[in-house]
């Protein structure tokens, strides 16, 4: 019960890594609100959290829309009686050779990954200050540090998330709010389908993973969620402005 008493809003957490976080937060005693554009999956994730004995709610939220983000934050603060933990996981990936990347695709990727992170922080910070402080965990990617062919827009947006995280951590430290980013490597979710297609399909992707990941395989969502639990917990109270890689050793 490392998160007993924590009140957490997890945005973009209906499926994949986020869903694993919801379950792990619930198992560790947090009360949670799952916010996602995928309403049925968010409802399902909240039900899973309740099955672990947690207080859990869901709210529909499109992180591209400022009013929708503000509404999710207000809902979480109201339903949970305060907000001290914010986890942002919403993501969008598209791949393609640079000459084929539409400006609209670039904007769409930035809107969800980078601008969405900003809107969540902007509207949650006042609530977290009212709670006396807390932990904000953003989600970048190893691609945000190292890039990858065909992923220019996604890598740039995730790089922006890292820079945003370090700037915000310095700004919010006096308010006792820690801000850190998780950088997953290859995690086995359908999110990576555009990357796998760009790499020539499942076979060639698997070959690359075996070659560049020292542990020789993709991770699972449940192998990433524990770092979110740790960063949200009091055990991490002296950790802020950090990028935490969970990548099977890919970056070394």
Ligand X SMILES: NC(=O)c1ccc[n+]([C@@H]2O[C@H](COP(=O)([O-])OP(=O)(O)OC[C@H]3O[C@@H](n4cnc5c(N)ncnc54)[C@H](O)[C@@H]3O)[C@@H](O)[C@H]2O)c1
Q: In the complex, which residues of this chain contact ligand X (CB under 6 A)? A: 12, 14-18, 36-38, 61-64, 89-92, 112, 139, 141, 184, 186-187, 189, 191-192
Q: Which is nearer to ligand X, 39 or 102 (CB)?
A: 39
**Which three-class secondary structure state does DSSP give residue 226?**
helix
By beta carbon distance, the residue nearest ligand X is: 16
Q: How far is the CB of 42 from ligand X (least distance, A)?
A: 8
Q: Is 154 a catalytic residue?
A: yes
Could you tell me if 187 and 19 are in contact, meaning their C-beta atoms sit under 8 angstroms apart?
A: no
Q: How far is the CB of 238 from ligand X (least distance, A)?
A: 25
Q: Which is nearer to ligand X, 44 or 79 (CB)?
A: 44
Torsion, CA 70, CA 72, CA 75, CA 79, rounded to 10: -140
Residue among 92, 134, 133 nearest 116 (CA): 92
H or E element at residue 43: helix 39-51
Q: Count Cβ atoms below 10 Å from residue 110 Cβ, excluding itself.
A: 17
Q: How far is the CB of 152 from ligand X (least distance, A)?
A: 15
Q: How far is the CB of 63 from ligand X (least distance, A)?
A: 4
| DSSP label at residue 205 | H
The greatest distance separating any two alpha carbons of the chain, rounded to the nearest whole angstrom, comes to: 51
| Candidate list 75, 154, 198, 228, residue with the active-site label | 154
Could you tell me if 1 and 174 are in contact, meaning their C-beta atoms sit under 8 angstroms apart?
A: no
Could you tell me if 87 and 232 are in contact, meaning their C-beta atoms sit under 8 angstroms apart?
A: yes
Decide the pairing of beta strands 56-60 and 31-36.
parallel
Q: How far is the CB of 72 from ligand X (least distance, A)?
A: 9
Token pair 């020292």 in the structure block, residue? 214
Could you tell me if 180 and 165 are in contact, meaning their C-beta atoms sit under 8 angstroms apart?
A: yes
Q: Which is nearer to ligand X, 135 or 189 (CB)?
A: 189
**Residues known to be catalytic:** 154
């Amino acid at each position: 019960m490392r998160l007993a008493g924590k009140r957490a809003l997890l945005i973009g957490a209906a499926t994949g890594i986020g869903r694993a976080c919801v379950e792990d937060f619930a198992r560790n005693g947090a009360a949670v609100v799952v916010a996602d554009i995928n309403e049925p999956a968010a409802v399902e994730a909240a039900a899973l959290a309740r099955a672990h004995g947690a207080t859990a709610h869901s709210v529909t939220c499109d992180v591209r829309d400022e009013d929708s983000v503000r509404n999710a934050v207000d809902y979480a603060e109201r339903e949970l009686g305060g907000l001290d933990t914010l986890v942002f996981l919403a993501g969008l990936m598209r791949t393609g050779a640079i000459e084929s990347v539409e400006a609209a695709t670039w904007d769409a990727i930035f809107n969800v990954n980078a601008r969405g992170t900003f809107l969540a922080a902007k509207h949650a910070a006042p609530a977290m200050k009212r709670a006396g402080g807390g932990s904000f965990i953003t989600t970048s990617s190893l691609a945000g540090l190292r890039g990858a062919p065909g992923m220019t827009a996604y890598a740039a947006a995730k790089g922006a998330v890292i820079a945003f995280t370090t700037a915000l951590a310095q700004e919010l430290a006096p308010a006792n709010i820690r801000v850190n980013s998780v950088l997953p490597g290859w995690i086995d979710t359908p999110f990576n389908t555009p990357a796998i297609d760009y790499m020539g399909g499942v076979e060639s992707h698997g070959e690359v993973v075996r070659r560049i990941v020292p542990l020789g395989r993709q991770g699972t969502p449940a192998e990433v969620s524990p770092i979110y639990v740790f960063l949200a917990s009091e055990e991490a109270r002296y950790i802020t402005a950090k990028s935490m890689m969970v990548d099977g050793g890919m970056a070394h």
